[in-house]
Amino acid sequence: MKTRLSALAIAATLSVSALALSGTAQAGATFDGVKQKGYVQCGVNLGLYGFSAPDDKGKWSGLDVDVCRAVAAAMFGDAEKVKYTPLSAQQRLPALQSGEIDILARNTTRTLTRDTANGLNFAPTNYYDGQGFMVSAKLGLKSAKQLNGATVCVLPGTTTEQNVADFFRANKMTFKPVVIEKNEELHKAFFSGRCDALTSDASQLAAIRAAETPNPNDYVILPELISKEPLSPAIRQGDEEWANLVTWAFYAMVQAEEKGITSESVDSAMTSPDPDVKRLLGVTAGNGKALGVEENWAFNVIKQVGNYGQSYERNVGTGSKLKMPRGQNALYTEGGMMYAPPLK
Amino acid sequence: MSNLIQALNSARVRGWLYQGLFLAGALAVAGYLVSNTLTNLANRGVATGFGFLEREAGFEIGESLMSYAASDTYLRALVVGLLNTLSVSAAAVVLATVLGVAIGVARLSSNWMVGRFAAVFVETVRNVPLLLQLVVWYTIMNRLPSPREALEVVPHVFLSNRGMKFPVLADHPGHGWAFLALLAGIAAAIAIVRYGRRRREATGKPFPTLPAAIAAVVLPPVAVFVATGAPLALDVPALAGFNFEGGGSVTPEFTALLIGLSVYTAGFIAEIVRSGILAVPHGQTEAGLALGLSPVQILRLVILPQALRVIVPPLTSQYLNLTKNSSLAVAIGYPDLVSVTNTSANQTGQVVEAVAMMMAVYLVISLCIAGFMNWYNRRVALVTR
Amino acid sequence: MSKEVPTNTTTAWAASYEEEPSQASVPPQANGVTALKPLGWAPVNWAKANLFNTPLNTALTVLCLAILWFTVPPMVNWLLLNAVWSGSSEACREAAGACWSIIAVKHRLIFFGTYPYEEQWRPFLACGLFVAMLGISGVRAFWRPALSVAWALVLIAMGVLMWGGILGLTYVANDRWGGLPITLMLSVFAIALAFPLSILLALGRQSSLPAIRTFCIGFIELMRGVPLVSVLFMASVMFPLFLPEGVTVDKLLRALAGLTLFTAAYLAEAVRGGLQAIPKGQYEAADALGLSYWQKTRLIVLPQALRIVIPPIVNQFISCFKDTSLVTIVGLYDLLTAATVATTDPEWRPYFAEVYVFAGMIFWLFCFSMSRYSQWLERLANRYTRR
């Protein structure tokens, strides 16, 4: 009679597998899948202020979050139709590969390996960055090439660890890394003097210096930028329709800034005589049909999320606590690299 | 047909039948999952396999017990991480045991204040998540002064937020010989202890085991050391550039992790030790006194052997937990196996393989510890006849 | 997992082993000391008998007092006297003590994570119900069948509160849940689901069928041999890859599954301990009565074994409660994750220590009360077994 145990064990195994299979079904193609379920599943950082973090009221906001909101606005006419999946650095690629999320907007650097071997596609870069060093002014350093033998605080996750190692190897210098997963812990370690230098994206360094030191002049940012960090939203390979929508929803924000259309002025812009604006806002039909969404898709994006400049200033720029300058992320007309191909 | 029914009525046949069904079911489920995984990976254009282990890692590791540079392979980087995990776990096991035994005994102290102190310690460290405690210890480490204002605790030992720097003996061939002599001395001491026990059991005459063993351990290395010219030249740490050069050093990450793991586990070990001592009936002590044993002898020959029986099995779990908890190192920047695995997985994107390897390695470590402790448990276990 | 023991009062003989770590150098003393005759003021006598009865004890007492003297005043100053209790971050920059304003500003983020702000009374109420129910379940007078009905009702009420969608409550998907509800629910459901599983595993480990036994041993040792972080990671990240294309399982459910399997392996060992503690005669008597395996297990073995394992189960629950702080690795917003995220705001970043202290106190409060409770349970169990 002991054998009934095995029957029970089988039953348990089967019920576990049944439980596993009782999840929500999802269509194969991402575009149709998203349309069917009625919201965009967006992978974000657990908490990176300015890019994606919940505010005091638990509402997600940030530059990366705005990409997801723009896609939702383009698809559904409602920027709120986004569900956020906070992801740790290790989780993010598998989460996208496995289909758990539809977009990964989590400060991810676009690289060849990720574009190929890891099975990702990248949307246009929504934040251009480069890795630099910050050191205490007391050390009197003028160049990163004087850092031989230094201890360097590194945030893992993007490609930072490799970049620092490359830089020191190229200049025949040595260093000791201290790699800590959480931004706050890392900054604490640096400001308490655990490391001689903090390496991170250069714009971040300025913001960190402004926000976290009593006297920002105590720290200097060395002039060398040791890497290119084009932070881009990523999507799975194999769904061109979805890739197009994500790409052009972002470009619409850039184009709107170029044309001077803000979320406040977009209503009056509907009557603009400019053919480009007419096409952008769907007054002249065509773009929406090509993308497979409503013709007023870009209107919704601009109305609900704002143009790229608005998003930038609100989340990381002068309107935020980070107060980062536009720098490389200004429009190409103002010396930056933000450039939208023609929306026609 | 009736044969079949008869066979089915036999418990043994049915046992095999159920097992067969169970195995077939398990294999089918496993096969299904594996095939799903392979299809999924193939569909998504994701590279698989362990080929990445041979590629250049391209990142540096903060501390390492073997030579490592960014130009080495991922495999070597992972081995460096593994060694770091093992070293911090081994040190923490020793420290946690010492601390745990001390506090467990202190909790039974007749001194009210010492007992309360131990109780507060135990109830605090056991009831706060380890992750939080590690962060607190690391913050404390970072509050130490910078290298240029380092505290010189004793001459040439510097305490700063870069860790502890201390002098070590400068390399000399004499040290190697002295170390060999030490090993020989330990072997001799074990032989002496065995001989002493045999003689006591055979003749009943006590043999001065302890002094003889200590002499056997201490004297040969000292003799060799002196014979090779007593090379006492020190490699002293000195401030150079950003940091101290020379001497030995322990990083703040290692120290914070070591203290955090030891203190947390010591809280549990203290309770185990306390229950182990309480489990030995008082009559045993009285019997020992009646036999004319000294209190130290009672402790060593009567109480401890019996208490160990209660202590060793849960202690094994604590050692296993400690080793596994060292994986939280990633929160405070100690480059352990998990940290290196994370970086490798992030750079190559081959998360599946990296995590599977990490789990396998931890499993092997755990099985080794469990195997050793089970062997020890059998030695101290009660032999019933 | 530790083995709890009843907090017996210190016995005299134990005193002679307090010097155990330094036994070689310090001779034991308490045995030979005769009690002082009660003369004069009672507290003084008490102090003489308990704090200064031997030179070593005097030295230890002085050491303890010195430690208290150097740690308590600065702590009280920082925690209370010099602390800032409300106001802006500017006020905190001036102050020498703790900045509790960050808690005043961020407490709702810490407690409820990303749950919609206007609706946060719902998780608050749900947590209150839950904690109250836990408290009631701890009282012996309520240990009767009606309790499970009450639990079912409370769980339904909690589900309604958290999800909503009916009774005029707006629907809140569980990806918005966070903070304390996540910590509480993950730990309680993990232990509740792990318990039956662990009984099966423990019985399977004792089974006479080699295939079943091997499978159970393999599972238990595998789970106990790897860090919880990697189990959670596998459950959360790898699991979707195991499933056929297009099938996904909720993220919270996956983390719960990982935590449950991990806890079940540990609980199974506790249950096995209980099974092994039952005298062989009980099995033989049951066989002699002609009971089947399941009758024997259900009527004879488990009722006795499970009473023994109640305290280890509570201890495992404490572990599980603390371990939920690791789900941050799979991107869930538990209490500790929400607390760390609260410190990412540049305005408040310098005051992380306050947030950690706050989170630590919450964890401590829950774990300490449960550990006290488990000690009480143990005394109760001992009262039954010691006749």
Give residue B260's pLDDT. Answer: 93
Cβ neighbourhood burial of B350 (10 Å; 0-12, 13-18, 19+): buried
10 Å Cβ neighbour count for A29? 15
Number of domains comprising chain B: 2
User: Which tens digits make up the pLDDT trace of C117-149?
Assistant: 777 888 888 888 888 888 888 777 777 788 888
Contacts of B132 in chain C (CB under 8 A): 325, 336, 356, 359-360, 363
Distance in angstroms (rounded) separating the CA atoms of residues B322 and B85: 11
Specify the higher pLDDT residue, B125 or B50.
B125
CB contact (8 A) between residue B59 and residue A177? yes
Contacts of A9 in chain C (CB under 8 A): 200, 204, 212, 215
Mean pLDDT of B337-356: 84
User: Which tens digits make up the pLDDT trace of B140-188?
Assistant: 888 777 777 777 777 777 777 777 777 777 667 777 777 888 888 888 8
Q: Which residues pair with C310 in a beta bridge?
A: none
Cβ neighbourhood burial of B147 (10 Å; 0-12, 13-18, 19+): buried
Same domain, B163 and B280: yes
**The domain that contains B272 carries what CATH number?**
1.10.3720.10
**What value of ipTM does the predicted structure carry?**
0.74
Strands (E), A127-269: 127-129, 131-136, 150-154, 175-179, 197-201, 219-221, 229-231, 234-236
Give residue B316's pLDDT. Answer: 82
User: Which tens digits make up the pLDDT trace of B185-200?
Assistant: 888 888 888 888 888 7
Give residue B79's pLDDT. Answer: 92
Residue A26 clears pLDDT 60, i.e. is over it:
no
Give residue C246's pLDDT. Answer: 64
Same domain, B96 and B11: no
Mean pLDDT of B228-236: 69
Confidence of residue B269 (pLDDT cuts 50, 70, 90): very high
- Hey, of B44, B127, B318, which one would you mutate to test binding to chain C, going by the most C CBs within 10 A of its CB? B127
User: Which tens digits make up the pLDDT trace of A156-202?
Assistant: 766 788 888 999 989 999 888 888 877 778 888 888 888 889 998 77
B residues 143-182 closer than 8 Å to A (CB)? 143, 145-146, 161-162
Confidence of residue A311 (pLDDT cuts 50, 70, 90): very high
Specify the higher pLDDT residue, C160 or B84.
B84
CB contact (8 A) between residue A90 and residue B351? yes
Residue B333: closest CA among B138, B185, B123, B67: B138
Q: Please answer whether residues A117 and A343 qualify as being in contact, where contact means their C-beta atoms are separated by less than 8 angstroms.
A: no
Contacts of C330 in chain A (CB under 8 A): 88, 91
The number of CA neighbours under 13 Å toward the Cβ of C88 is 2
Output b/e per residue, B221-233; b: 16+ Cβ within 10 A. Answer: beebbeebeeeee
Pairing between strand B238-240 and B243-245?
antiparallel
Name the residue facing B343 among A156, A176, A236 (closest C-beta).
Answer: A156
Name the residue facing A46 among C238, C240, C331 (closest C-beta).
Answer: C331
pTM for this predicted structure: 0.79
Q: Please answer whether residues B7 and B13 qualify as being in contact, where contact means their C-beta atoms are separated by less than 8 angstroms.
A: yes
What distance in Å separates residue B265's CA from the closest CA in chain C? 10
- Hey, of B128, B140, B353, B374, which one would you mutate to test binding to chain C, going by the most C CBs within 10 A of its CB? B128
What distance in Å separates residue C41's CA from the closest CA in chain A? 52
Give residue B86's pLDDT. Answer: 92
CA dihedral C206, C211, C214, C220 (to 10 degrees): -80
What distance in Å separates residue A128's CA from the closest CA in chain C? 21
CA angle C167, C172, C173 (to 5 degrees): 130
Same domain, B80 and B25: no
CB contact (8 A) between residue A13 and residue B25? yes
Same domain, B11 and B93: no
Does residue B181 sit within a domain?
A: no
User: Which tens digits make up the pLDDT trace of C341-353?
Assistant: 887 777 777 777 8
Distance in angstroms (rounded) separating the CA atoms of residues A247 and A239: 12
Does residue B38 sit within a domain?
A: yes
CB contact (8 A) between residue C12 and residue B110? yes
Give residue B366's pLDDT. Answer: 87
Same domain, B13 and B125: no
Residue A11 clears pLDDT 50, i.e. is over it:
no
Name the residue facing A26 among C200, C248, C251 (closest C-beta).
Answer: C248
Does residue B57 sit within a domain?
A: no
Distance in angstroms (rounded) separating the CA atoms of residues B329 and B61: 14
CB contact (8 A) between residue C341 and residue A53? yes
Does C82 touch chain B if contact means CB atoms closer than 8 Å? no
Contacts of B312 in chain C (CB under 8 A): none
Does residue B185 sit within a domain?
A: no
Q: What is the mean pLDDT of chain B?
A: 82
Rg (CA), chain B: 28
What Cα–Cα distance (Å) separates residue B346 from each residue in A89, B80, C109? 7, 17, 30
Name the residue facing C23 among B18, B111, B299 (closest C-beta).
Answer: B299
Q: Please answer whether residues A108 and A118 qualify as being in contact, where contact means their C-beta atoms are separated by less than 8 angstroms.
A: no
C residues 356-375 closer than 8 Å to B (CB)? 356, 359-360, 363-364, 367-368, 371
Query: Do the two domains A30-128+231-326 and A131-227 of this chain adopt the same fold?
Result: yes
Give residue B383's pLDDT. Answer: 60
Does residue B370 sit within a domain?
A: yes
Mean pLDDT of B352-364: 87
Does residue B33 sit within a domain?
A: yes
The one-letter amino acid at C25: S
- Hey, of C291, C336, C345, which one would you mutate to test binding to chain A, going by the most A CBs within 10 A of its CB? C345
Indicate the SS3 state at residue A131: strand
Q: Please answer whether residues C330 and C237 qualify as being in contact, where contact means their C-beta atoms are separated by less than 8 angstroms.
A: yes
Mean pLDDT of A75-97: 85
Same domain, B250 and B298: yes
Q: Which residues pair with B163 in a beta bridge?
A: B160
User: Which tens digits make up the pLDDT trace of A90-143?
Assistant: 778 878 887 788 999 988 888 888 888 778 889 999 999 888 899 988 888 888
Give residue C156's pLDDT. Answer: 84
CB contact (8 A) between residue B62 and residue A179? yes
Give residue A25's pLDDT. Answer: 33
**CATH of the domain spanning A131-227:** 3.40.190.10
Does residue B225 sit within a domain?
A: no
Domain encompassing residue B343: 74-170+233-380
Confidence of residue B231 (pLDDT cuts 50, 70, 90): low
In chain A, domain spans:
30-128+231-326, 131-227
Domain A30-128+231-326 has CATH 3.40.190.10: yes
What is the mean pLDDT of each successive set of 10 residues along chain C, which is 387 residues long? 39 38 40 50 75 78 85 81 77 77 81 80 86 81 80 83 76 79 87 89 84 87 86 80 72 87 88 79 85 83 78 82 82 83 77 84 88 80 58
Same domain, B258 and B346: yes
What distance in Å separates residue B273's CA from the closest CA in chain C? 10
A-chain residue closest to C215, CA distance = A9
